[in-house]
Each structure stands twice: as C-alpha cells, then as structure tokens.
Amino acid sequence: MSKSSDYDIIIIGSGLGGLTVGSLMSQLKGKKVLILEQHYIVGGFTHTFKREKGYHWDVGVHYVGDLQDGHVFKTLFDYTTQGKVRWKKMPYIFDKFVFPDFTFEAPSSSEEFEQKLITQFPHEKEAIKQYMLDVVRADNWYRVNILYKHLPPLLRAFKKPKASDTLLATMSTKDYLDKIFKDEKLKGLLVSQWGNYGAVPGRGSFCNHAMVVKHFYNGGYYPIGSAKTIAEAIEPIIEKTGGKILINHEVTDIIVENGKAIGVNVEIKKGKNRTKETFYAPAIVSCAGAYNTYCNLLHKDFGADFPDQMRDHPDGLSHLCLYIGFKESPRKLGFQGENHWIFDQYDHDVMFSDIDAIVHDRMKMAFLSFPSLKDPEAVANTGEIITFVSYELFEKWREEKWKKRGNEYEDFKEMLAQRMINFIENKYPGFKDLIDFYELSTPLSTQHFTMHNKGCIYGMHTSPDRMLKKWNQVDTPVKNLYLTGADAAVLGVAGAFTGGVFATMRLMGGSLGFLSYVGLESKAKKFQKELKEKGIKTVIE
C-alpha cells in the first residue's frame, strides 16, 4: 500500500457535482484537485457510451432547462466549463404528455403554457393561475432554504424561510393538487414530468415538483456532442493546476482521525488485478451520494445518526432504460426531437402501485426520447425508452458480475425490452420497424456503474421531508468532509451542479461562504461578458 499527500482536495466520484467542485476550486483558488472515479469512464450520469455503427447515448442527461441568457445557472455553468459546452435549444414544443384520450403539447413559454391549460380546462382557470404562482413560490423557497443552510449563523436570521412557504414546499404534490383542483385529468396532466424528479404525486414534495416545472418554463436544451463534453471541458481545467482525474480508482473508505477527514483508502482496478493505495488531503469532498458516504465509506462510530436516517428513508426510483439504434431517422414517423411522456391513465399514484406491471404485460408508462434529433453532431439515429420498476425484480442477480449474470437474466431482459418496444409501437405504429439495435440497462446496471443504493437513478428519494433533513446539505458531522452533487442539494443536472457550487462556497470561505458565492457569481458574469464580446456562443438556438 502506497501513500500520497500531493493534493489540496480529494473528490470521491466524477459526477457533475464533483467535476464542478474540481473546476471551480482549480480556477478560483489554484487548488491541486484529485478526483477518484471507480468507473472506467469519467462523468457519472453525464457520461456517454458507444456501440456498433456509431450509436451512442447519454446515460442521464436527456434535457436541461434554465440555459437562457442571463439565468444564473447558465452564467455559472459557462464559467465552470470555460464556455466549452454548447447547447442546442430543443423544439418549441419540447415535451408531449400523451394520455389515452388526448395529448398535451408543452411549449417553451410559461405564459403560453398557462393559457393552454386555461383553454383546455376553463372551469379551473383561477386554480391554474394560483398554481402558477405557487410553483414560483415553492421554487423560491428552495433557493432561500439552501442559502439558509449554508449561511454563517449570524446571517441566518435575515434569510430564514417563511413558515407558510415551508408548509407549501414540503407538502406532498398530491395533497397540494387535491387542495386546489377538482379535475382529475388536469391533476394527471400537471404531474406528467414526475419521472424527472423521481416521485409520483403522493410520495414526492411539491417543492421538487415546482423546481422541475419552473426549470423548464423556457423549454429544454441538449448538449451538442452529448453530455460527455462536460467532463471533456473540465478535465483540462483541473489538470492546469496540477490536478488529476483517475479512473478505475474505487474509494473503499474515508479515513477519519480525531473527528477530521484526512484521506481515503482506494482499490485500484486493472484487469483482474487489485492494488491498494492511500491518498491524503486537507479536504475531502464526496460525490458518491449521501447513502454511500454515510453508510459505506465512513466508520459507524463517526458521531452522528445519519446512517440510520439513510436506511429509514424511502427508497428512490429504479428504472429500465432501453437504448435504441435506428435504421432511419425517427423523423420518418413525425418525431422532431421532443420528449414523449406516455401514460395509460391519469392517476399516477395508482399506476405506481402497480410498478412492476410490465412483468405481467400491462406496462403503464414510458418516457420516449431521441438523442440524435437533439444533437446536431449526432452521426447515427438513436432513441431511448425509460420506464420504472422495483429493484426487487432483479435482487436475485445482485451478487452476479456485470455481463455475467446468466441466461435467465438475459432472457428476462429480452422479455422486458420487447414489451417496452411494443408499448411504443401501440402508440406510434411503425416504430418497431425502424429499430436496428437495442440494449437494455436495469437497476443492476445503475448500481454497478454508480454504486447508488438499489440502483436508484436519482439517489435519495425526494420525499416531502427530504429538504428538512440535516444530511441534505454540503456540511457533514466530520470536519473537513463535505458532500456535493444531488444529495447535497436537489436532484437533476441543475441540482447536482448546485451541490457543487455550494460545496465550493464552503471550501472557499468557511463562515464567509456566502460572500464567496457572491464573488463567484460576479466572476462568472464577467467571464460570460467576455465570451459574448469574442462572439463565442454557448447556446445554439
């Protein structure tokens, strides 16, 4: 076992939260950052994989919002990637919500969205107007709440969330909808994007629902050249100050002495061989998720009850993703690059209670997406079908190795894949004939590559009380150890990035972290102005 103490910061995991911290600390403080990634590809859920004939797919980025000029997310993101990631605006109708008796086309305008709802449901006009206001209110509550968690104690009194806003934000989405709406179809329509935040109305918070809805008020965007361009942009930034990203390096535990995190033990994978190494640094940042960090990487006696809280928290969402290569462009069937959320009924909680219906050949819902239609640099025609299942369906194979789980597992996957294809074929005849190649990933695939508990795509469940949990923040009970990514903030691309920004804020200033954040935003705005003056576009309309 060798030892290294050449780095200022060690980051566990190369997901977007970890990459964000690495980039910002390299740029702002000249820190020498080491990112340790257990997978053989950098990027976490922003990585891309390839198959024959030039087919390639993003595993986690399907579309991102809030990338319009002037939005703080775009400003900070451009600074983090030094403007190297370009985005393509999706079609004006970027989402379609498909139900048995009608389809609702979601426009890239909150005003038009509201008017379309009122036109279709005139009897709910006043409730719709109130809903639009409450979405903004709940979204604002989160921004106030995360700042409040990370402010110095003396400043918290000036930024404490209002009790009435907390009540709104932390109620379940179902309770909120039942409170102000009567029309069941309208309720079902409004939560059609629940797959984006991992919880049906009865199980998720209105805050998470509101944040996702508002995130897409101005439509969706897709990274040109796929999401792998994010890691490709950030890695040279980290290397410029002497840092590194090392793949096939699995952190097995965080070393804590006298209540302080001082390093990590690592298992290095090279073929069938395994070697061990220890790395030390003054600061450790975990992008491995709250569950992994508290239940697997830290010793049980580190001084908090977080592991018990993790295990008692509801399980997150497990999914199937069918990656498809097409013989011809899906435009042949009328698709233009928009996403399709397809449901066989309006009550999403009832649907979810039969989550494994696909096994009995009565699939309930699917998300249909076309990466190649969103990316102008795509060289092959691709699509993805996503649906949700329980982890328990696959638990019997959890100890088996990737690609070596046996014929029974492969036969089960093939059956599921065919049912997913048939579900789409029934909605869009001719879809099946376009397929040239397909490959199914299961919750075991997610668990293998991300190490998320039970293969949950979004990490910790977005339950109504999640935002109030002490573990849902950057700070940990261990000195010099911080969380980043979605579990430190909120799920999704923007959520993982937010976790990275606030972890950076903590590393930069301690109790002066808020002032560091303001300084970061100022630097980011200045950089974006320079990009504009040079004629560099990070969003391609």
Instruction: Supply the pLDDT for residue 150.
Output: 75
Token look-up 């989405």 returns 173
At position 45, the amino acid (one-letter code) is F
- What is the DSSP track for 24-76? HHHHHH---EEEE-SSSSSSGGG-EEE-GGG-EEESS-S-B---STT-HHHHH
**How far from 355 is each of 281, 337, 352, 439, CA to CA, in Å?**
44, 27, 5, 21
Instruction: Supply the pLDDT for residue 316.
Output: 86
Instruction: Supply the pLDDT for residue 301.
Output: 66
Tell me the pLDDT tens digit for each residue of 21-50.
999 999 999 999 999 999 999 999 999 999
Check: CB of residue 267 under 8 Å from CB of residue 250: yes
> Region 360-388: what's the mean pLDDT?
96
Max distance between CA atoms of the chain, in angstroms, equals 70
Indicate if 373 and 448 belong to the same structural domain: yes
Structural domain includes residue 4:
yes
Of 192-201, 258-267, 437-446, 506-515, minimum mean pLDDT range: 506-515
Of 106-115, 275-284, 308-317, 455-464, minimum mean pLDDT range: 308-317
Indicate if 340 and 401 belong to the same structural domain: yes
- Based on its alpha-carbon atoms, the radius of gyration of the chain, rounded to whole angstroms, reads 23
Q: Which helix (H) or strand (E) holds 97?
A: strand 93-98
| Residue 58: burial class (beta carbons within 10 Å; 0-12, 13-18, 19+) | buried
Indicate if 391 and 516 belong to the same structural domain: no
Structural domain includes residue 103:
no
Indicate if 331 and 420 belong to the same structural domain: yes
> Region 237-243: what's the mean pLDDT?
98
- Which token pair is 29? 């403080």
Tell me the pLDDT tens digit for each residue of 125-157.
999 999 999 999 999 999 888 888 777 776 676
Check: CB of residue 113 under 8 Å from CB of residue 128: no
Indicate if 349 and 435 belong to the same structural domain: yes
Indicate if 399 and 523 belong to the same structural domain: no
Check: CB of residue 200 under 8 Å from CB of residue 348: yes
∠ CA 227-135-516, rounded to 5°: 60
Of 89-98, 306-315, 381-390, 458-467, minimum mean pLDDT range: 306-315
Indicate if 334 and 435 belong to the same structural domain: yes
Tell me the residue range of the domain where 416 lies.
Answer: 318-457
Give phi and psi for 447, each to the nearest 5.
Answer: -65, -40
Check: CB of residue 489 under 8 Å from CB of residue 167: no
Token look-up 């009194």 returns 157
pLDDT at 304 over 70: no
Tell me the pLDDT tens digit for each residue of 342-353.
999 999 999 999
Structural domain includes residue 158:
no
What is the pTM for the complete model shown?
A: 0.95
Structural domain includes residue 290:
no
Which of 427, 457, 487 finishes a domain?
457
CA distance linking residue 298 with residue 92, whole number of Å: 47
pLDDT at 194 over 60: yes
High-pLDDT (> 70) share of the chain, % = 96
Indicate if 450 and 373 belong to the same structural domain: yes
> Region 54-68: what's the mean pLDDT?
95
pLDDT at 305 over 80: no
> Region 422-443: what's the mean pLDDT?
98
- What is the DSSP track for 308-345? HHHHHSPP--EEEEEEEEESS-GGGGT--S-EEEEES-
Structural domain includes residue 470:
no
Instruction: Supply the pLDDT for residue 311.
Output: 80
CA distance linking residue 463 with residue 419, whole number of Å: 30
CATH of the domain at 441: 3.90.660
Instruction: Supply the pLDDT for residue 145.
Output: 86
Instruction: Supply the pLDDT for residue 146.
Output: 84
Could you tell me if residue 347 is left (phi over 0), alpha (psi between -120 and 50 degrees) or otherwise beta? beta
pLDDT at 359 over 60: yes
> Region 468-478: what's the mean pLDDT?
88
Domain count, the chain: 2
High-pLDDT (> 90) share of the chain, % = 79
Average pLDDT, the chain: 93
Which of 457, 492, 518 finishes a domain?
457
- Which token pair is 4? 């290294």
Check: CB of residue 437 under 8 Å from CB of residue 52: yes
> Region 72-97: what's the mean pLDDT?
97
Structural domain includes residue 414:
yes
Structural domain includes residue 390:
yes
Indicate if 452 and 343 belong to the same structural domain: yes
Indicate if 416 and 450 belong to the same structural domain: yes
Which of 457, 488, 515 finishes a domain?
457
Check: CB of residue 72 under 8 Å from CB of residue 528: no
pLDDT at 158 over 80: no
CA distance linking residue 15 with residue 17, whole number of Å: 6
Indicate if 327 and 403 belong to the same structural domain: yes
At position 443, the amino acid (one-letter code) is P
Instruction: Supply the pLDDT for residue 494.
Output: 94
Structural domain includes residue 173:
no
Tell me the pLDDT tens digit for each residue of 326-337.
999 999 999 999
Of 51-65, 177-191, 287-301, 505-519, minimum mean pLDDT range: 505-519
Indicate if 377 and 484 belong to the same structural domain: no
